[in-house]
């Protein structure tokens, strides 16, 4: 147990987009540990299908240092596979970040105290916020720099013409920081329910859901919930049969995407 605390501290500081360490961060983590995932909400109101058109749909994955692997890799696989697995026009994927990089995902934790950091997968984004094309779908997982003004401004701007803006895990904190979720329902990783509810009182937190769909804005719960959220988006564009074919191709047996 003694070796886990600093690792947990480092990971949680990254995935909530914390800009500083110290007593404030420790207090936030202590609050998160008090959270119970036992409360389960009832089914959400059904939403209308989306019109896919005849061309592949551009999907932007917002990336940054500390991006959690499965948060973007799970939805990426779903959208990547849709075209050939379901025989539909599918999606065209790209990554976007505040600068040219390189960046690092989560991974091994090395060092201690102020020198503690992740040594994850290195990557360079396809675009920056200055030159990225307009997406139809936006995906943001847990990542660092969740209050970056340029990042938040880009999300607000592209959300106006996007069909879907989706967060995964504590990517919900990034989306909530834009103000777009105010007055709506949302979910996040169960360890951060209380922290999210306290930080964003204008948002109705829904506990125990794989994802919450407000129409344009979708928030998926922790980690693998992003797969369900992405399959749900495929369902809205191309129908349940197409989404099931993608799930079958991935050998994914979860049914949480069916609402």
What integer pLDDT is reported at residue 183 of this predicted model? 98
Q: Is residue 40 part of a domain?
A: no
Q: Give the integer Cα–Cα distance in Å for 166 and 72.
A: 11
CA 149, 150, 156, 162: dihedral to nearest 10 degrees? -150
Q: Is residue 46 part of a domain?
A: no
Q: Give the integer Cα–Cα distance in Å for 36 and 12.
A: 17
Q: Is residue 42 part of a domain?
A: no
Q: What total of structural domains would you count in the chain? A: 1
Range name among 19-28, 94-103, 229-238 with the lowest pLDDT average: 19-28
Range name among 27-41, 85-99, 154-168 with the lowest pLDDT average: 27-41
pLDDT over 70 for what percent of the chain? 82
Burial of 127 (0-12, 13-18, 19+ CB in 10 A): middle
Question: Model's pTM, two decimal places?
Answer: 0.86
Q: Which of 210, 248, 208, 204 is nearest to 232 (CA)?
A: 210
Q: 10 Å Cβ neighbour count for 147?
A: 12
Any bridge partners for residue 219, and if so which?
Answer: 167, 212
Domain that holds residue 107: 4-35+54-249
Q: Give the integer Cα–Cα distance in Å for 82 and 240.
A: 12
Q: Is residue 27 part of a domain?
A: yes
DSSP state of 217: E
Q: What is the CATH number of the domain that holds 102?
A: 3.40.50.880
Q: Give the integer Cα–Cα distance in Å for 50 and 157.
A: 20
Q: Is residue 44 part of a domain?
A: no
Average confidence (pLDDT) over 170-178: 98
What integer pLDDT is reported at residue 11 of this predicted model? 54
Q: Is residue 254 part of a domain?
A: no
Q: Report residue 85: phi and psi, to 5°.
A: -80, -35
What integer pLDDT is reported at residue 48 of this predicted model? 79
47 pLDDT exceeds 90? no
Q: Is residue 47 part of a domain?
A: no
Q: Give the integer Cα–Cα distance in Å for 35 and 103.
A: 31
């Amino acid at each position: 147990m003694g070796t886990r605390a600093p690792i947990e501290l480092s990971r949680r500081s990254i995935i909530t987009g914390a800009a500083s360490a110290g007593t404030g961060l420790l207090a936030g983590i202590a609050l998160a540990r008090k959270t119970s995932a036992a409360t389960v909400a009832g089914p959400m109101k059904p939403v209308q299908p989306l019109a896919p058109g005849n061309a592949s749909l551009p999907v932007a994955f917002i990336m940054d240092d500390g991006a959690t692997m499965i948060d973007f890799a799970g939805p990426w696989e779903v959208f990547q596979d849709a075209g050939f697995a379901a025989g539909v026009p599918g999606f065209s994927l790209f990554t976007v970040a505040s600068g040219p990089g390189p960046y690092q995902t989560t991974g091994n934790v090395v060092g201690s105290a102020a020198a503690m950091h992740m040594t994850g997968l290195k990557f360079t984004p396809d675009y920056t916020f200055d030159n990225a094309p307009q997406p139809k779908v936006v995906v943001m997982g847990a990542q660092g720099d969740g209050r970056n003004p340029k990042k938040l401004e880009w999300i607000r701007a592209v959300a106006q013409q996007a069909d879907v803006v989706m967060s995964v895990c504590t990517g919900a904190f990034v989306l909530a920081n834009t103000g777009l979720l105010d007055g709506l329902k949302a979910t996040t990783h169960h360890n951060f329910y209380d922290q999210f509810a306290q930080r964003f009182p204008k948002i109705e937190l829904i506990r125990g859901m794989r994802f919450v769909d407000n129409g344009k804005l979708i928030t998926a719960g922790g980690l693998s919930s992003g797969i369900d959220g992405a399959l749900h988006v495929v369902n809205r564009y191309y129908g349940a049969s197409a989404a099931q074919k993608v799930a079958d191709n991935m050998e994914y047996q979860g049914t949480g995407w069916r609402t």
